[in-house]
Amino acid sequence: MAHARLLTVAGEASSDAHAAGLLEALRDRGWRGECVAVGGPALAAAGARLIADQSDLAVVGLSEVCGRLPRILRLLGRVRDEIARRPPDLFLPVDTPEFNLRLLPHAARRGVPVVYFVAPQTWAWRPRRTRILRRHARELLVLFPFEEPWFRERGVAATYVGHPLVDAARAWRAQRPRRGRQTPEESGPAGLLLPGSRSGEVRRHLPVLAAAVELLRRRGLDLRWRVRAAPGLDDDFYAPWTLSAGIELRREPILELAAGSAVTVAASGTASFEAALAGSPLIVVYRVSPLTWLLARRMVRVPHVAMANLALGRGVVPELLQDDCAPARIAGEIEGLLGDPARAERMRAELAGLDARFGPSGALARAAERVQAHLEPRGG
């Protein structure tokens, strides 16, 4: 078991971080095997041998996928060849369902056990994909408490392990017991923009957010606005929008930036959940291509898209999606939060309830324990 070979595929920044944390937790448990991966800088830093970079997989929507389809298909073939030529002792797909679910049957045919980490959101849309997990995954390790019973009711061997971001937020709070909130006397009120981790997301969201900032300034509401740059995107990528709007580019941890912000506007996804865990008054936005939106509206089966709202089971933070993700609507929501301190404080109090939903810390350690239980050296 100690020298088994693990193959993992993590197709975006958040899954790269989760996969890297899991690999480090496996090392902490004494596992000394080889990890080969499609991933990013976090997995590489954790000691994985990258056979391909994740950049071609970090796409959202039909238009982006079509533009990169030849490269995505080549990468799919490359990973299939890797499984066929040197079957790993375990295949560990991490999120990235549009790519990873296509690999599960191939791994199963080669006799490679599959443990899936970070569940595809089949409970939200395209539930038929759950059948692939039921047939080919030995175990599904899920991050949200409601996911385990949902998948188990559909025949998937799901195990709730907890959420690494919740653990990280708890550790951050414990290390900074006297940090307090940023106050106007310290550095002036600040706002935070989180336009996404993928280049396409930033291109769709940041121009709209910058326009909302300009609109607020014309109305006399001039916060010190910051945008948190995503790993893998350099400063020049953001410059067309940040320089003209006078927005600071920052790379500190999201928890740190969000905790010191009077309001955060975040693209739906992992970063918005981090901002919620930091307790920042939050507005969640998202835009996709018109065709993707048309299809998504027909298929989505949940009332909310923001992770905080899903975890809390109600609409605590406003969601401005597609046509509602417009400068005037965003500016209006920001004014509503900043102009009503009682509303902002109520939101902070409700977001503080997120922690209790997730049980004890140790998500990555529990995930590593389950992965290690399936890691058996292959014969030969």
The position carrying tokens 């959202």 is 60
pLDDT at 268: 94
Starting at the edge strand found earlier in the chain, the sheet holding 263-267 runs: 248-250, 224-228, 190-194, 263-267, 282-286, 319-321
pLDDT at 299: 65
> Helix axis angle, 363-374 relative to 164-175, nearest 10°?
140
H/E stretch holding 290:
helix 290-299
Q: What is the pLDDT of residues 116-146, one digit of tens each?
A: 999 999 988 788 999 999 999 999 999 999 9
How far apart (Å, rounded) are the C-alpha atoms in residues 123 and 293? Answer: 18
Q: Which of the residues in the chain have pLDDT under 70?
A: 1-2, 56, 58-68, 177-188, 293, 296-300, 376-380
How far apart (Å, rounded) are the C-alpha atoms in residues 304 and 282? Answer: 14
Q: Structural domain boundaries of the chain?
A: 5-162+362-374, 179-358
Please, which residues bridge with residue 140 across strands? Answer: 116, 158
> What homologous superfamily does CATH list for 5-162+362-374?
Glycogen Phosphorylase B; (3.40.50.2000)
Q: What percent of the chain has pLDDT over 70?
A: 89
Determine whether 199 is exposed, middle or buried from the number of CB atoms within 10 Å of its CB (0-12, 13-18, 19+).
middle
Classified by CATH at the fold level, domain 179-358 comes out as Rossmann fold (3.40.50)
Report the Cα 269 to chain-centroid distance in Å: 5
How far apart (Å, rounded) are the C-alpha atoms in residues 94 and 88? Answer: 16
pLDDT at 380: 37
CA-closest candidate to residue 229, choices 214, 251, 248, 209 = 251
Determine the longest span between alpha carbons in the chain, in angstroms.
72
